[in-house]
């Protein structure tokens, strides 16, 4: 009766069952995984919501790519980071997940393949399956810093490969794509889908790191961003796609995206009218997030010094992988920390790490809880 595209398991796994049992017991749990910026004690500005009250929102004037003033505001965001992009090269969507869905509709036929990074956030399998596609992983490697395994990309390419997804900074590795890696990827001739939602949160300002995939124009490129991360406002649903590349391909892609977006018209008028004001007023909120991330990263480096826990090098983003001793399995570590130490971390296998043992923590965590949780984690591991 139901489509095979929705054959996605909804059964809680062992990790979820044990976590639910701990929560039901009422025991103290130091949660080092929260990445919801509305629940980690960041300063709030109620006046941000006033931007949504424009009387003009009472009139509906649909525009498939998005209202021009809103697209101009996004173009100004690209300009803020040094990229010139015309408003007519920008498409608004309700979320980055929807942006992926639109791009998969644009670029593929059922059964085609999309190359996605590994490790990475476990969303691509769902997004591709819902479009009757296949996600094929390529590898990110670590040797003191993260790098793109270009050989693994070339091995993964087949006649059915229709696009390469990059995430920079990546979640959870915190790795940013290098400019020389971007050049190599563009030379492969496949469309690039560059998820840049964490681009405002970099710890390394090296010129060797890519700022946006739109820096190159050799291949058709789509750069994704949105309010969820840029202003830490996931409840205000708005994202965008910046389109670049060879002019003929860019124009053709935008014409087809216009048709796709016009079919759904999913972006609400109030959020589009508010966008310029939100981006202007929200700078302080973004800065608060930047301060929080930098502070927690410094805490992590301090408290893990001379311990058996090693934080991996990260270029940016909201997450930090911790390497744990291989004296027990990753699964065993995570359950021990959860049930004996009262510390919640995410296991590396959740993000498809190929080696053990890793624990992933959120740098967005409330600072005092973050430190207490790390100290308790280290105490248990060093024991």
Dihedral sign from CA coordinates of 209, 199, 204, 82: positive
- Residue 13 pLDDT grade (very low, low, confident, very high; cuts 50, 70, 90): confident
* Stated pTM of the model: 0.96
- pLDDT of residue 11 exceeding 90, the answer is no
- Burial class, 67, CB count within 10 angstroms (exposed 0-12 / middle 13-18 / buried 19+): buried
Integer Cα distance of 65 and 69 in angstroms? 11
Q: List, in sequence order, every residue forming a beta bridge with 360; answer none if it has no partner.
A: 321, 346
What's 8's DSSP letter?
A: -
Res 302: pLDDT: 98
**Tens-digit pLDDT profile for residues 280-303:** 988 999 999 999 999 999 999 999
- pLDDT of residue 262 exceeding 90, the answer is yes
Integer Cα distance of 348 and 81 in angstroms? 32
**Tens-digit pLDDT profile for residues 167-182:** 999 999 999 999 999 9
- What integer is the mean pLDDT of 237-259? 98
- pLDDT of residue 12 exceeding 90, the answer is no
- What integer is the mean pLDDT of 117-126? 95
Q: List, in sequence order, every residue forming a beta bridge with 239; answer none if it has no partner.
A: 93, 226
Integer Cα distance of 188 and 181 in angstroms? 11
Q: Which residue has the tokens 């060093």?
A: 382
In total, the chain counts a number of residues equal to 383
Q: Do residues 243 and 83 lie in contact, with contact meaning Cβ atoms separated by under 8 Å?
A: no
- pLDDT of residue 10 exceeding 80, the answer is no
Tell me which residue of 336, 354, 358, 356 sits closest to 141, measured CA to CA. Answer: 354
Integer Cα distance of 324 and 333 in angstroms? 8
Res 9: pLDDT: 74
| Centroid of chain to Cα 55 | 34
Res 342: pLDDT: 96
Examine residue 309 and say whether the peptide bond preceding it is cis (omega within 30 degrees of 0). Answer: no
- Burial class, 102, CB count within 10 angstroms (exposed 0-12 / middle 13-18 / buried 19+): buried
Tell me which residue of 106, 102, 55 sits closest to 267, measured CA to CA. Answer: 102
């Amino acid at each position: 009766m139901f489509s095979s595209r929705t054959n996605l398991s909804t059964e809680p796994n062992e990790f979820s069952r044990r976590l639910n049992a701990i929560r039901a017991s009422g025991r103290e749990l130091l949660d080092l995984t929260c990445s919801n910026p509305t629940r980690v004690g960041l300063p709030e500005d109620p006046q941000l919501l006033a931007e949504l009250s424009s009387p003009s929102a009472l009139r509906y004037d649909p525009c498939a790519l998005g209202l021009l003033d809103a697209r101009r505001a996004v173009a100004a965001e690209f300009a803020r980071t040094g990229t010139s992009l015309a408003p007519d090269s920008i498409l608004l969507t309700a979320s980055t997940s929807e942006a992926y869905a639109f791009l998969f509709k644009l670029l593929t036929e059922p059964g085609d393949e999309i190359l996605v990074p590994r490790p990475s956030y476990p969303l691509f399998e769902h997004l591709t399956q819902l479009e009757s596609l296949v996600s094929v992983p390529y590898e990110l490697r670590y040797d003191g810093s993260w790098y793109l395994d270009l050989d693994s990309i070339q091995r993964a390419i087949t006649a059915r490969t229709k696009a390469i997804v990059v995430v920079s900074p990546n979640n959870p590795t915190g790795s940013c794509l290098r400019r020389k890696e971007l050049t190599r990827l563009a030379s492969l001739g496949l469309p690039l889908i560059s998820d840049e939602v964490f681009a405002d949160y970099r710890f390394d300002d090296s010129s060797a790191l890519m700022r946006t995939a739109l820096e190159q124009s050799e291949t058709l490129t789509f750069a994704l961003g949105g309010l969820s991360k840029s202003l830490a406002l996931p409840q205000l649903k708005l994202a965008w796609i910046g389109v670049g590349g060879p002019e003929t391909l860019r124009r053709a892609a935008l014409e087809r995206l216009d048709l796709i977006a016009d079919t759904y018209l999913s972006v609400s008028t109030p959020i589009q009218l508010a966008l310029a004001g939100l981006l202007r007023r929200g700078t302080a909120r973004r800065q608060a997030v930047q301060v929080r991330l930098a502070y927690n990263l410094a805490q992590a480096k301090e408290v893990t010094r001379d311990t058996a826990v090693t934080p991996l090098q990260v270029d940016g983003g909201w997450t930090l992988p911790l390497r744990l001793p291989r004296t027990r399995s990753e699964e065993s570590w995570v359950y021990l920390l959860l049930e004996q130490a009262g510390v919640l971390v995410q296991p590396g296998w959740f993000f498809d790490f190929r080696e053990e043992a890793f624990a992933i923590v959120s740098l967005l965590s409330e600072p005092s809880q973050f430190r207490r949780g790390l100290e308790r984690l280290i105490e248990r591991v060093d024991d």
